């Protein structure tokens, strides 16, 4: 992936780095520092073909690396002030009088500083006059694996799990170790290693049957400053020890969890805590006992609190047995309706994990109105790096622009500037803990992510959680240079492909924010009515007159009322609503004219014909790279693009035919519709 450490051939750059790295001093008895030092050694050896000459004393070194405590006596006042202004995981890299300093507030900070320095080397930046002070914007920068013990990965599109195989935790943990290197290099500091749906056998992960081996995994991650979390089954006391109830207010149940948590921390002293999917898609939860989510989360929070453990409670709670005839129930409303009334009731070590949109990681959704709506409850936003609804790592879909749009969304919760980015950074309400989580997209495929170019989503996810102000283009450039080298042509062309890909995917799939229309169950490929008469609450309501979901206050489900002004007004009033979300909020006739001047039906035809052509353009761009690319990666991506073209064709023709048949309105340009 992006840690290939290709040799630097430019003599000038190579000399510059060799000069800076002449005599390096670094303290090395801590596992995190050891990993960081090791990474620097690998990078320098491979990129500069050079063995670092480690110095013993700070005085003898021309590159000094360490945390601020151990370097206290050697730092200048200015450096101390800079560090004091940075978070624990922050660092500085500076050159003063020919001597370079890489100092972290903590060992984790040192590690992030080293990764930063390596990245500069990969980007061939001039190292002679560095003045960097950096820190993560978000406290929680988390990855969720949806891996199961049988080796499968729920919504995994990159082969099997790297953690489990055939009902066992893998013996050879080399791949897990590499994953830790990748994650730490992009700033990730927390990982949950099992699926949020905790099945029968995985329920026993919190018992001595599995804890010794989970501890081994935890140790690998913690040597990269990544804390390990487990998803738990809310009904564990019943499943594991035959208790008659899992009622969170029952004394015996509380004691059971207390003992359980003590046992876990015996094995893993820096264990992060639990992720809980409760009362969601048939998973057990407090509702069974007439308790609410605060009761459930707080019971676990109390027993984790003495160990600094956290409860990450997911808000993906909705009625998944809806009657499609029932027009009053609106799944989009569910998370807000369930959780907003509970604001103020959650303990300080509970974080609510909220999906970025109110439905489920569609190619286009509005931002979840629950984000920021609870001033006294810690929140984490959840993204999906795995491309469940965005092409499943067969189709190219660079998701950074989507996430950036979400993070930039201004909720106006506390007046202008209350963006999602500031909310999850804990700057709008004073959250004790907050940040960003996402579902991982990796598996045991040789290239980790199924589609080689899907690596950019994982890379970009990490970089964004660290610094949401990085642009989609900057992130793409960094990733391409580190992964494919810095040939101008390769850079320009892959960048163009990545940056256009989200829009292209949207063009040939479900139009104007309406979502779904995918094959039920697998979620790849078109099936326009696949979810229309189902129990999942995901409808488009297309009839012969028009399409879309009326979520307005006056005539619809009232979902728009969950937003603050002016967003409420903008979404609620048809003429104000942005085109891209029109069908999410309104039911309109096919001949309704969009702000862009096209009618809805003509827009559907136009975007679908265009989307397919754009995939052909992607193929042409890629094909033109054959002479500058290694054959393996060239052929691999070429093959994926071909499959994407077939998918786009199916989407184009099914969507166009469906709406032509429903509406009877012909395409203005007489293109082929079936």
Given the rule CB under 6 A, which residues bind ligand GCU?
A: 154-155, 196-197, 277, 316, 360, 388
Nearer to ligand GCU, 105 or 322 (CB): 322
> How would you write 36-61 as a 3-class SS string?
HHHHHHHHHHHHHCCCCEECCCCCCC
Helix (H) or strand (E) holding 589: strand 588-589
Return the exposure string of 417-430: e unless at least 16 CB atoms fall within 10 Å of the residue's CB, then b: ebbbbbbbbbbbbe
Between 389 and 592, CB nearer to ligand GCU: 389
What whole-number distance in Å separates Cα of residue 136 and Cα of residue 12? 32
Q: Contact 285/300 with Cβ under 8 angstroms? A: no
Q: Shortest CA distance to 556 belongs to which of 567, 565, 544, 568?
A: 568
* Contact between residue 3 and residue 185 where contact means Cβ atoms under 8 Å apart: yes
Q: Among 292, 305, 365, 388, which one carries the catalytic annotation? A: 388
d(CA 526, CA 674): 15
Shorter beta-carbon distance to ligand GCU: residue 316 or 659:
316
Dihedral of CA 56/58/63/69: which sign?
positive
Catalytic site includes residue 395: no
Closest CB to ligand GCU among residues 135, 390: 390
Catalytic choice (147, 247, 292, 360): 360
Cα–Cα distance for residue pair 610/615, rounded to 1 Å? 9
Which residue number, 534 or 561, has a Cβ lying nearer to ligand GCU? 534
List C-alpha distances in Å: 402 to 169, 357, 377, 469, 493: 35, 11, 25, 14, 20
Tally of CA atoms within 13 A in the half-sphere of 657 that contains its CB: 13
Min dist CB 145 to ligand GCU, Å, is: 12
CB 339 within 8 A of CB 293: yes
Spatial neighbors of 193 by CB under 8 A, at least 6 apart, are 145, 147, 163, 214, 217, 228, 229, 230
- Of 89, 216, 161, nearest to 440 by C-alpha is 161
Distance of closest approach, residue 155 Cβ to ligand GCU, in angstroms: 5
446 a catalytic residue:
no
Nearest to ligand GCU of 66, 358 (CB atom) = 358
In the Cβ-directed half-sphere of 56, how many Cα atoms lie within 13 Å? Answer: 0
| Nearest distance in Å: CB 360, ligand GCU | 5
Q: Which is nearer to ligand GCU, 14 or 277 (CB)?
A: 277
Per the CB < 8 A criterion, the answer to whether 404 and 394 are in contact is: no
Size of the chain in residues: 674
Of 149, 264, 168, nearest in space to 218 by CA: 264
Of 77, 130, 123, the closest CA to residue 99 belongs to 130
d(CA 589, CA 662): 12
Q: What tokens were used for 444?
A: 């045991």
Number of neighbours of residue 532 by Cβ within 10 angstroms:
15
Choose the catalytic residue: 10, 60, 281, 626: 281
- Compute CA distances 207 → 265, 266, 268, 306, whole Å: 11, 11, 12, 20
Nearer to ligand GCU, 360 or 422 (CB): 360
Nearer to ligand GCU (CB atom), residue 277 or residue 364 = 277
Q: Least separation, in Å, of the C-beta of 314 and ligand GCU?
A: 7
Task: Report the residue number, 196 or 220, with the smaller CB distance to ligand GCU.
Answer: 196
Instruction: Say if residue 311 is exposed, middle or buried (CB neighbours under 10 Å; 0-12, 13-18, 19+).
Output: buried
Residues in contact with 137: Cβ distance below 8 Å, sequence separation at least 6, in sequence order: 421, 425, 465, 466, 467, 468, 469
In the complex, least distance from residue 321 CB atom to ligand GCU, rounded to whole angstroms: 14
Distance, in Å, from the CA atom of 91 to the CA atom of 116, rounded to the nearest integer, reads 10
Cβ neighbors of 115 (< 8 A, separation 6 or more) are: 36, 39, 184, 185, 186, 187
529 annotated active-site: no
Q: How far is the CB of 393 from ligand GCU (least distance, A)?
A: 15
**Phi (first) and psi of residue 586, to 5 degrees:** -140, 150
Nearer to ligand GCU, 119 or 155 (CB): 155
List, by residue number, the catalytic residues: 281, 360, 388
């Amino acid at each position: 992936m992006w840690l290939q450490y290709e040799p630097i051939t430019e003599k000038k750059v190579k000399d510059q780095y060799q000069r800076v790295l002449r005599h390096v001093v670094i303290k090395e008895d801590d596992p995190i520092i050891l990993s960081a030092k090791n990474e620097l050694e690998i990078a320098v050896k491979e990129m500069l073909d050079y063995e670092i000459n480690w110095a013993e004393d700070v005085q003898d070194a021309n590159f000094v690396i360490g945390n601020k405590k151990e370097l206290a006596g050697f730092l200048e006042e200015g450096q101390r002030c800079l560090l004091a202004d940075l978070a624990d995981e922050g660092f500085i890299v500076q050159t003063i009088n020919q001597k370079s300093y890489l100092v972290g507030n903590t060992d984790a900070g040192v590690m992030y500083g080293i990764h930063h320095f390596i990245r500069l080397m990969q980007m061939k930046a001039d190292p002679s006059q560095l003045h960097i002070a950096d820190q993560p914007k978000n406290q929680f920068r988390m990855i969720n694996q949806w891996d199961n013990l049988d080796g499968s990965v729920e919504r995994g599109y990159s082969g099997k799990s790297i953690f489990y195989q055939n009902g066992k935790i893998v013996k050879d943990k080399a791949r897990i170790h590499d994953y830790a290197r990748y994650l730490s290099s992009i700033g990730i500091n927390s990982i949950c290693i099992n699926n949020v749906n905790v099945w029968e056998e995985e329920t026993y992960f919190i018992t001595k049957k599995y804890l010794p081996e989970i501890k081994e995994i935890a140790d690998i991650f913690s040597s990269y400053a990544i804390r390990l979390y487990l998803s738990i089954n809310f009904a564990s006391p019943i499943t594991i020890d035959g208790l008659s109830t899992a009622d969170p207010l029952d004394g015996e149940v509380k004691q059971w969890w207390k003992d359980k948590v003590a046992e876990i921390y015996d094995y893993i002293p820096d264990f992060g805590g639990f992720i809980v999917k409760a009362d969601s898609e048939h998973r057990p939860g407090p509702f069974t006992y007439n308790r609410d989510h605060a009761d459930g989360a707080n019971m676990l929070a109390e027993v984790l609190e003495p160990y600094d453990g956290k409860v990450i409670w997911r808000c993906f709670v909705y009625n998944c047995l809806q009657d499609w005839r029932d027009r009053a129930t609106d799944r989009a409303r569910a998370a807000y309706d369930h959780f907003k009334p509970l604001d103020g009731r959650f303990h300080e070590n509970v974080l609510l994990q909220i999906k970025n949109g109110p439905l489920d990681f569609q190619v286009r959704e509005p931002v979840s109105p629950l984000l920021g709506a609870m001033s006294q409850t810690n929140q984490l936003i959840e993204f999906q790096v795995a491309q469940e609804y965005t092409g499943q790592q067969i189709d190219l879909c660079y998701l950074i622009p989507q996430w950036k749009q979400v993070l930039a969304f201004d909720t106006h919760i506390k007046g202008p500037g209350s963006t999602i980015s500031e909310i999850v950074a804990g700057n709008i309400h004073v959250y004790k803990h907050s940040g960003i989580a996402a579902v991982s997209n990796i598996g045991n495929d040789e290239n980790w992510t199924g589609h080689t170019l899907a690596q950019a989503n994982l890379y970009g996810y990490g970089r964004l959680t660290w610094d949401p102000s990085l642009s989609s283009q900057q992130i793409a450039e960094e990733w391409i240079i580190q992964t494919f080298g810095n040939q101008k042509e390769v850079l320009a062309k892959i960048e163009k492909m990545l940056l256009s890909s989200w829009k292209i995917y949207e063009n040939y799939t479900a139009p104007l924010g309406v979502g779904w229309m995918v094959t039920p169950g697998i979620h790849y490929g078109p099936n326009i009515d696949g979810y229309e008469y189902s129990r999942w609450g995901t409808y488009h309501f297309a009839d012969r007159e028009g399409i879309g979901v009326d979520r307005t206050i006056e005539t619809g489900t009232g979902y728009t009322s969950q937003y603050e002004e002016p967003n409420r007004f903008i979404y609620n009033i048809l003429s104000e609503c942005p085109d891209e979300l029109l069908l999410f909020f309104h039911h309109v006739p096919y001949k309704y004219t969009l702000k862009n001047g096209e009618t809805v039906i003509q827009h559907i035809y136009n975007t679908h014909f265009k989307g397919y052509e754009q995939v052909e353009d992607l193929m042409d761009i890629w094909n033109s790279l054959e002479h500058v690319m290694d054959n393996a990666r060239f052929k691999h991506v070429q093959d994926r693009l071909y499959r994407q073209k077939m998918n786009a064709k199916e989407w184009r023709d099914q969507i166009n035919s469906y709406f032509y048949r429903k509406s009877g309105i012909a395409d203005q340009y007489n293109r082929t519709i079936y």
